[in-house]
A and B are shown apart, each in its own frame.
Chain A
């Protein structure tokens, strides 16, 4: 039993700048229990994790692990019993091969060699890493690294494993696999899990969900109970999974559904008895309607394919990393695609698709051989081409831009380009003021703030402002919402929508998920292993959901659910982005009258943009 009594913690405790992170938390975790701790950034969940692993010492309160009191002389015992997997895979792996890293913990425990061997092999095979055991850590994917981290903890035979947001830095599909493996551990070795996350859909399969807010436990209970309290969750910046949301909406429209449906499978079971008889009649009609909707969108997307000269165009673009070394890696194998002025393009693809490499070419940071890359019709590699001019016209915000801010204060960082151009101070100030307000930050409040003291979401805004200050015509955003909590994601997506729509910028949005960002795009290009494999309006591509899946793309939650629901409704469409879309599609299938108050439809931003350009 993990017994926590009134645990409290403050950073810089006793000093005037103390920050209270945890305000008296009490909880018990039974051996073998699967507990999910959820809350948005700053709710105290990560602090709690560090305390339970004795990485931090509490300001007040106490806890014990299976009867061992967490006192100063028992720290190592506590750490052995409570293992921890951290957020960033690169920062927690110590050795440089898989097997050595997994052995690190057991070696520290001073176990005999044979015992270390046994545990290492056991852990590796449990996590499906047996044939990767001699691989270099540096050549592993993010998901594999997290599995190694988990194996390393498991080899110490802890009774409790804390997963501290281990899924924020890896693709959702891989995250699910890691979580499934973690679940299996309980069945195999009886270890209890404390999974810390801000993704609601991850907690469905846990025994108990603890919701934290402001350093306290807000509510706890089985997921079904917690999800039924959707309004309370929304009040603290959390949301229920889209399937649950859809079920709740259908329930509000009079369908006999339980207050909380957790998975698409469950929803399918619940809806199966309703999808018979007379409903079928109207379903045909609804079907036609959806199809008509789809037809409407196709031409609007195609229109933007034709106009004028592409602002950027790749023709059979090829590139290999570490060329001429034993570590050579082909990233682009003949990519052909074009970006037209004024459009918003979604550049989608799974890992290793070549997205990040392609945009570096677009931004003028790499120069290809002749006749492979054109900017406004001009060959980028031609002698005399104005590369600096290209870099000025194309602004790029890299992945995790918060790690790429290089000045001390917000004002200095954002004014980097105006200062470099030696603009007069007044003009420079005006630019900084304008771009900061464009990204939703107040000039006077943020001008002198230290960059390192900002929150993750604020840093991203500053990074975007810094790029906007150069006055680009094309804005490239590489996975701008990755690693943020749901609240941060929604805010940033709204910001990007605003920028692309209002400013008339040409935008390239790079990602691996069909999410709130991808839907801003007029057109999508899907890359796979260095080639363009699909191209067209997003909704049109989404009808080929299975193909997208096979390419390693993450579908929207609704489309994902629709694939499962096809078991009951074989011709349910998959071009669904929001809970509202899925609700409408299901209502059509069930023959319900259209909702009295339709939610915002996804087509809206696209249309508005079309009018503007």
Chain B
């Protein structure tokens, strides 16, 4: 049993590869991702998803992220989604001319279509969000979000505080993963077998690790709060920024391409299939 979660948990990891996508303004990337996600949520046909997949392939090529790395990160989600997929297929209500039926279980084109659509939509949604993280440094992302959410400040939404919370939460992901790894190793070294026993038993074993994990995380959070206070952090008020966000021609080009894809996804959605 090799415990190396960090190899498989890729979400939130930034890969400094300096690709054209990496160099875009964070606002472009956030808005672009948002538009594509919105289009995906409305896409209910295969041609629409096909266009979305094309845009994903374009991003994948431009961002220079190794395909294996991207796919490895999706493995866990994929397994979960397969379960949901089979539920959707077999429990589809009132199918037209099913191929096979037994009680409420059935196998039909309607069910299969619904399952495939959901599966590919969720995977693509995850793909776009994780690629945003792979290609955007955390602080860029935070600054971009803060600028985009700026109008909300008039409604007295504490934008800076929310963004800072998000940043710190993400920062803690790899640290907590490493800590979890250590805790599991410490238990495994004392003879615990995590891949044995009933589901309840396994759940209990993992649960036992989570308690010290949370205790450690809390004490870390306390130190971090002190450290932030010591550096005079008191929320967004009166705070200034070092970075200057600037839209370059490449950003406008990227946005145009995204809008074109989104329009194409909508248009393809009108095609009946």
Contacts and interface: CB of A to CB of B under 8 A. Distances in A.
Contacts of B72: 324-325
A79 interface: yes
Question: A55, A363, A406 — which one has the most chain B CB atoms within 10 A of its CB?
Answer: A406
Interface string A74-100: 001001100110101011101111011
Contact of A116 (B2, B17, B209, B240): B240
B179 to A, nearest CB: 8
Interface in A331-371: 360, 363, 365-367
Contacts of B190: 395, 416-417, 420, 466-467, 470
Interface string B85-116: 00000000000000000000000000000000
Interface in A116-146: 116-117, 120, 134, 136, 138
B233 A104 contact: yes
Given A106-B242, A406-B209, A91 B227 contact: yes
A329 B228 CA distance: 32
B168 A79 contact: no
Interface stretch (B29-37, B53-61, B117-125, B181-189): B181-189
5 contacts: A84-B230, A113-B242, A321-B4, A406-B183, A470-B190
A420 B191 contact: yes
Contacts of A573: none
Nearest to A322: B7
Contacts of B174: 138
A108 B212 CA distance: 33
B83 interface: no
Given A79-B231, A95-B138, A406-B187, 12 more contacts: A79-B232, A86-B226, A86-B230, A92-B223, A96-B14, A107-B240, A116-B240, A136-B16, A325-B72, A365-B1, A365-B189, A388-B193
Nearest to A399: B182
Contacts of A152: 231
B152 interface: no
A46 B226 CA distance: 13
A396 to B, nearest CB: 5
B248 interface: no
B264 interface: no
A117 B242 contact: yes
A403 interface: yes
A236 B220 CA distance: 30
A97 B171 CA distance: 11
A96 B170 CA distance: 10
B139 A95 contact: yes
B238 interface: yes
Contacts of B223: 86, 88, 91-92
B139 A156 contact: no
Given A83-B230, A113-B240, A96 B69 contact: no
Interface of B: 1-4, 6-7, 10, 13-17, 65-66, 68-69, 72, 137-139, 167-168, 171, 174-175, 179, 182-183, 185-193, 208-209, 211-212, 215-216, 220, 223-224, 226-234, 238-242, 244
Contacts of B211: 406
Contacts of A360: 185
Contacts of A156: 231-232
A279 to B, nearest CB: 55
B240 A110 contact: yes
Contacts of B7: 321-323, 325
A141 B38 CA distance: 41
B186 A452 contact: no
Contacts of A110: 238-240
Interface of A: 50, 53, 55, 76, 79-80, 83-84, 86, 88, 90-92, 94-97, 99-100, 103-113, 116-117, 120, 134, 136, 138, 152-153, 156, 321-327, 360, 363, 365-367, 388, 391-392, 395-396, 398, 401, 403-406, 416-417, 420-421, 452, 466-467, 470
A403 B238 contact: no
A103 B232 CA distance: 12
A392 to B, nearest CB: 6
B240 A94 contact: no
A53 B227 CA distance: 10
A403 B209 CA distance: 12
Contact of A96 (B138, B179, B244): B138
Nearest to A368: B2
A114 to B, nearest CB: 10
A79 B226 contact: no
A150 to B, nearest CB: 12
A322 to B, nearest CB: 5
B115 to A, nearest CB: 30
Nearest to B179: A403
Contact of B231 (A108, A322, A396, A403): A108
Contact of A108 (B137, B191, B220, B232): B232
Contact of B185 (A88, A111, A398): A398
A404 B183 contact: yes
A403 B216 contact: yes
A34 to B, nearest CB: 21
A403 B220 CA distance: 11
Given A96-B138, A367-B2, A398-B185, A55 B230 contact: yes
Nearest to B68: A324
Nearest to A109: B232
A392 B216 CA distance: 27
Pairs A-B, 8 closest by C-beta atoms: A92-B227, A404-B186, A103-B242, A91-B223, A100-B139, A105-B231, A110-B238, A108-B232
